[in-house]
Amino acid sequence: MTTLQAQPLAVSASGSARRPARRRAGLAGYLFVAGYTVLLIAFGVFPTGYSVYLAVTNPRGQFTGLGQFTKVFADFRFGPAFEDIAVYLVMWLFLVVVLTVLVAVILRSRVSNKVSSVLRFLFYIPGALAGVASVLVWLFMLDPAVSPAAGLLRAMGLDNFDQVLAPGNLPVILVLIAFWTGAGGWIVVMYGALNNIPDEILEAARIDGAGPWKVAWYIQIPMISKWIVYMAILAFAAGTQLFVEPQLLQTASLNRVSPTWSPNELAYVFAFQNGDFNGAAAISIVLLAIGLLCAGLLVTRSGLFKLDDD
Amino acid sequence: MMSPRTARSRRSGRSLAAAAALVVGAAVALSGCASTGTGSADSSTPSAFKQAAQDDSAPITVWADSTRLPDVQKYQKEHPDVKMNIVTYDGSADGSTYLQTKVQLFDRTGSGWPDVVFASPTDVTWASVPTNPSAQAFAAPVDQLVPSSTLQGFATGSLSPCEVDGHTYCLRNDIAQVVTWYNKKLMDQWGYKVPTTWQQYQALGEKVAAQHPGYVIGAVGDTNSQESYFWSSQCPAQQLVAKNTLKVDLSAPDCTRMASLLDPLIADKSVSTQGFFTQGFDGSKVLMAVGPSWYGQYLFNSAFKTPAGQIAAAAPLKWDGESSTSTGNVGGGIWMISSHSKNLKAASAVVTWLTTSTDNLQDAPTYPAYVAGAKAWLANPANKDYFADDVSSVFLAAADEVWTGWSNTKFSDATPWSNAVLPALTAGKSLTSTLPAWQTAIANQAKSVGYTVVTQ
């Protein structure tokens, strides 16, 4: 979709005739990407390489093979941290994929344009808050002593903040925070994607007798499936890296939340409490491998980067 | 909006192969592996204390918590010629690892250490050994910097958390001996007698639950409640029996007696499962509290805003049939000097002044560990005006009764208690039934930082 839309624009801007776009290696192009590439190497590629090095050595720089990995796998906090994040990811991905698409479809086809734009704006607002600020908002929302929704919390049998923060509730709380901050942006993106579907196609479907739900299910959702995959990849990557939210909850709950709730927090504890940067690097490599594997699967299975005119 | 994100995903797709190759490469090369230890766990003796090049006029950086900040500022005011850079931080309270995190990083970058820090006793355990093979232990042995007569002036046993391998790595700021706090006004009004034994404490709790429901005689929901109750009960929850060997035995009678004493009180709600320091805790419903000497000013006066003249302290509770009393300790700060300091003279001077000067200690926010300072503190009416009775004799006696079997360990005892026990209590489980989970949590935590855990 992106490619289709972008190409005519580029052509008309350059003012050249309709001939196949050929790549010309001008200096300007390289200069434009140079700044980003240098920064990426310095702050993306080099640290990744360094952590791979750390993960297979010990503090004396001696090679340890997979020793660091077996050590962190055997740590008593490793299993629980990955279990926590798995439960969280399943809930979060399901919610973000199903709900944002559903809401976008409804906003696109079942709601008047004015209401739709107001709602999209409202959904987007929480996303404008930084992660930390949104956690603070939720700390108030979830504390029955100060929450505007205290009645609702009490009705659920949660009379104080400690009960709200029971270990079993944490994935739900973190999904709530993530959805509240993240979903609005994705709803807007999905809405934009739906706008790309030509009206003729929708009209043709209607003439063929498809109702709104059939149109959504057989026309709209399949036509934005790449966007959905793209959203799933980014949501998965952000989800596995969960850190700030549980870390702040841990502090705010006066330690009741485990300091190693998520794998990223565990890596942090390894590095900065145990002074074990090598073990921490091993955990982050595991996270990297999981993230790349899932992204790779989704990309290849969905043909995300296949150009439509190839 | 879309293109940068698409570009990122494309790149990560390509590096998938590269990363996979690296991981596989590491997997293939399994032979000839060296130890995966961090060095700090391996090294048994601290590396020798090598002083940095000294400069008597070099500025010193002091890290203090907000409570001790005025003391440091007072020193600066009285000694304007000393160039000081004062930084406020969390003071390592409630299991915070901010200081440790920062020192780990300074050790890797080779600069940035503060010269003097206020910290918690737990910090001595990591600060007295190098954090990595090429680092020098952060804490300087103060026995090589201050006269031994100074060290001898501290209350009995108060420097023991500072002592590692025959050296003293910190000076104790304050002691937090656990005493029995009570609201004298309410006790008198209701005709209750202040308990002197744990059994009387339990009986009183049951009476309060029946006659004045809603009032509490204690709370177990704070991150440090285990130090008030189980430490006082002489429970071997974390007892160093040899170097790097930790005895963890929560099935010992000294632990189970406290759990079974508290369980009925938790059940009838005369002991709260919330923490005293939980947001919104109703201080007007606190009849009694088993807790440290600083509860008086910091809990009742500052947090609960209980009017002056109501709160009093009694001696720590003892067990029926036991002749001597043991009590717990909740916190109590320490001061450490950086072994990297360029001006050890100025750093030692400020630490000595902060911990031993009667001029400073008579107005100290908490009960001083230095005996002469403690006496001056108790002689200062401002420290006692708030209370309904004179707390001096209670504080002085309790300071010498702190049980030494609850060892200072490389991990904070707040974490296992808060993670394993408190959520279970909140969910309505009994303290006795959570002892096995607590045992496992302590043992796991201990093993992860290199202790051998035994139960005998």
pLDDT digits (tens, 9 = 90+) for A228-246: 998 999 999 889 999 999 9
* Rounded Cα distance, A44 and A39, in Å: 8
Q: How many CA atoms lie within 13 A of A247 on its CB side?
A: 16
Q: What is the mean pLDDT of chain B?
A: 88
CB contact under 8 A, A64 and B448: no
Q: Which tokens sit at A14? A: 């350059």
- ipTM rounded to 2 decimals: 0.77
In the chain, the amino acid numbered A170 is L
Please tell me the distance from the alpha carbon of residue B154 to that of residue A165, in angstroms, as a whole number. 42
Q: Tokens 């029946």 appear where?
A: B210
The answer to whether residue B44 scores a pLDDT higher than 60 is no
To the nearest whole Å, the CA of B276 is away from the closest chain A CA by: 12
CA distance A172 to A151: 19
Which are the contacts of B326, defined by CB distance < 8 A and separation ≥ 6? Answer: B232, B234, B316, B318, B401, B402, B403
**Per-residue b or e along B10-23, where b marks 16 or more CB atoms closer than 10 Å to that residue's CB:** eebbeebeebeebb
Of A256, A257, A289, Cβ closest to residue B23: A289
- Residues of chain B with Cβ-Cβ distance to A230 below 8 Å are 5-6, 9
DSSP reduced 3-state for B57: coil
CB B367 within 8 A of CB B395: yes
pLDDT single digits (tens) B123-165:
999 999 888 888 899 999 999 999 999 999 998 888 988 998 8
Does position B15 have pLDDT exceeding 70, yes or no?
no
- HSE-CB for B295 with a 13 A CA cutoff: 32
pLDDT at A265 over 70: yes
Q: Which of A50, A58, A255, A272 to mutate to test the interface with B (most CBs of B within 10 A)?
A: A255
- Reported as a pLDDT band with limits 50, 70 and 90, residue A24 is low
* B313: closest CA of chain A, how far (Å): 26
Residue whose token pair is 């002691």: B175
pLDDT at residue B168 greater than cutoff 60: yes
Secondary structure class of B151 (helix, strand, coil) = helix
Burial of residue B331 (CB within 10 Å: 0-12, 13-18, 19+) is buried
- Rounded to two decimals, what is the model's pTM? 0.81
pLDDT greater than 90 at residue A272? no
In this structure, the strands spanning B171-172 and B163-164 are: unpaired
Cα(A239)–Cα(A291) distance, rounded to whole angstroms? 10
CB contact under 8 A, A289 and B12: no
Is pLDDT of A14 > 80? no
φ, ψ of residue A83 to 5 degrees: the values are -60, -45
Task: Find the mean pLDDT for residues B250-277.
Answer: 96
* Residues in chain B, total: 456
pLDDT digits (tens, 9 = 90+) for B169-227: 999 999 999 999 999 999 999 999 999 999 999 999 999 999 999 999 999 999 999 99
Question: Which residues in chain A touch residue B274, judged by CB atoms under 8 angstroms apart?
Answer: 160, 162
A–B: how many Cβ contacts below 8 A? 164
Cβ–Cβ of A162/B422 closer than 8 Å? yes
Residue contact B29–A67, C-beta within 8 A: no
Task: Report, as an integer, the average pLDDT of B432-453.
Answer: 94
A288 interaction partners in chain B (CB closer than 8 Å) = 19
What is the rounded distance in angstroms from the CA atom of residue B269 to the CA atom of residue B116?
44
Q: Using CB atoms and an 8 Å cut-off, which of residues 219-248 of chain B contact chain A?
A: 221-223
Report whether pLDDT(B48) > 90. Answer: no
Count CB atoms within 10 A of the CB of residue A264.
22
Widest pairwise Cα distance in chain A: 73
In DSSP notation, B60-113 reads EEEEE-TTTHHHHHHHHHH-TTS-EEEEE--TTGGG--HHHHHHHHHHHHT---
